[in-house]
Amino acid sequence: MQDKWALEEHLSTPENNKLWDDSGEAARNGKRYMDYVDSHLLDVDERIKIMDATGVERTILSLTSPGIQSITDTELAVKVARDTNDLVKRNFVDQRPGRLSMFACLPTQDGAAAAAELRRAVGELGAVGALINGYTNVTDADTARYLDDDAYEPMWAAVADLGVPVYLHPREPLPVQQAIYAGYESLVGSAWGFAHETATHAVRLMLSGLFDRHPGVQVILGHLAEGLPFLLPRLEHRLDKQQDGAGLGTARRKVSEYFSDNFYATTSGHFHTRTLFNTIAELGVDRVMFSADYPYETMEEAAGWFDSSLLSANDARKIGRENARRLFAGIA
């Protein structure tokens, strides 16, 4: 299939590399693999060649996890987010107009600053939304602020006002929450921990009342929605039984309704046809979009799987490009 769009495609910057110690990730995931990833996070020309070879018309770029969300100094986070968005626009998007677009990174250490940077990135740089790498460290590596916190109301108001989506990208569970992975450290990240962390984060958003206050806000989840198409029915059933229990949030509707109205899923890094069909059955074909997760995954594997996944021609067009074109209708 030609003219696919891919939405979870990562990059880094020299400044980000200085701030981010990836030695632990290299140990867990394998040095050879992480050396390959690191060597491709800064490229432009090779990225375009791979897109050409795999039928990808456009990719939307984002700063790799944990990105801005791991910075505990608020002033530094604001500066790095602004500098990064400027650099991505200048060194990536402007180098290949029509092929590369960008999600803004946001200084979520401060909700008002995140809102201001989103408005600037969309209005001045042409960002098509924001990608946020999960929770935000506030004081140290063992603290987390999730996006349902009241501090983010200015940011969500800006998202609603601008009409752009937020991609909720995974990051590893807090170090103090990783005891269950002891002895099995390779499970901490993308192999397992990412999905558990991000699915729970998404459920917090559903229960928080966010989508009652801002019913038009759209959140994108990668990896075929981090298991939620299979887990939400059980969650909803149990919450109905526990409706007089504690900690149920302020949501006015069922979680399945928010999932259907306020969430999209991408195929990033989850190349399994039966799981794709199950996600379509639960979420609807109009809310699933192609993605690769480059360079953590290869475009060749993602596109090769998708192009032979036995989807109908109509469904392949929707997932491969039309759903994204509709969601990002502001792209020229």
pLDDT of residue 21: 60
CATH code, domain with 76: 3.20.20.140
Which tokens hold the place of 169? 């990208």
Give whole-number Cα distances, 239 to 124, 252, 253, 271, in Å.
43, 13, 12, 31
pLDDT of residue 23: 47
Tell me the residue type at 160. A
| Residue 46 near residue 84, CB atoms below 8 Å | no
Give whole-number Cα distances, 272 to 185, 189, 224, 279, in Å.
24, 19, 10, 11
Q: How far apart (Å, rounded) are the C-alpha atoms in residues 106 and 127?
A: 11
Classify strands 4-11 and 56-63 as parallel, antiparallel or unpaired: parallel
Query: Would residue 49 count as lying in a domain?
Result: yes
Helical segments of 126-208, H only: 153-162, 193-207
Query: Would residue 270 count as lying in a domain?
Result: yes
Which tokens hold the place of 166? 């937020």
Query: Would residue 289 count as lying in a domain?
Result: yes
**Widest CA span of the chain, in angstroms?**
57
Segment-wise mean pLDDT, segments of 10 residues, the chain, 332 residues: 96 87 57 82 94 98 95 96 98 95 98 98 98 96 96 98 98 94 94 96 98 98 97 94 87 96 98 97 97 97 96 97 94 58
Strand order in the sheet with 56-63: 4-11, 56-63, 100-102
Query: Would residue 11 count as lying in a domain?
Result: yes
Query: Would residue 332 count as lying in a domain?
Result: no
pLDDT of residue 203: 98
117 closest CA partner among 66, 80, 160: 80
Q: How far apart (Å, rounded) are the C-alpha atoms in residues 11 and 181?
A: 28
Please return the burial class of 146, using the count of CB atoms within 10 Å of its CB with bins 0-12, 13-18 and 19+.
middle
Distance of CA 231 to the CA centre of its chain: 19
**Tokens 């699933």, residue located:** 288
Query: Would residue 55 count as lying in a domain?
Result: yes
Distance of CA 186 to the CA centre of its chain: 21
* Dihedral class, residue 181 (left if φ above 0, else alpha if ψ from -120 to 50, else beta): alpha
Give whole-number Cα distances, 298 to 295, 305, 322, in Å.
6, 11, 22
Please return the burial class of 150, using the count of CB atoms within 10 Å of its CB with bins 0-12, 13-18 and 19+.
exposed
Domains: count for the chain: 1
pLDDT of residue 136: 98
Distance of CA 70 to the CA centre of its chain: 15
Q: How far apart (Å, rounded) are the C-alpha atoms in residues 163 and 253?
A: 22
Q: How far apart (Å, rounded) are the C-alpha atoms in residues 23 and 27?
A: 6
Question: Range of 158's domain?
Answer: 4-327
Q: Which of 149, 293, 307, 315 is catalytic?
A: 293
Helical segments of the chain, H only: 14-19, 23-29, 31-40, 45-54, 74-91, 111-125, 153-162, 193-207, 210-213, 228-241, 255-262, 273-283, 299-307, 313-317, 323-327
Is 38 noted as a catalytic residue in this protein? no
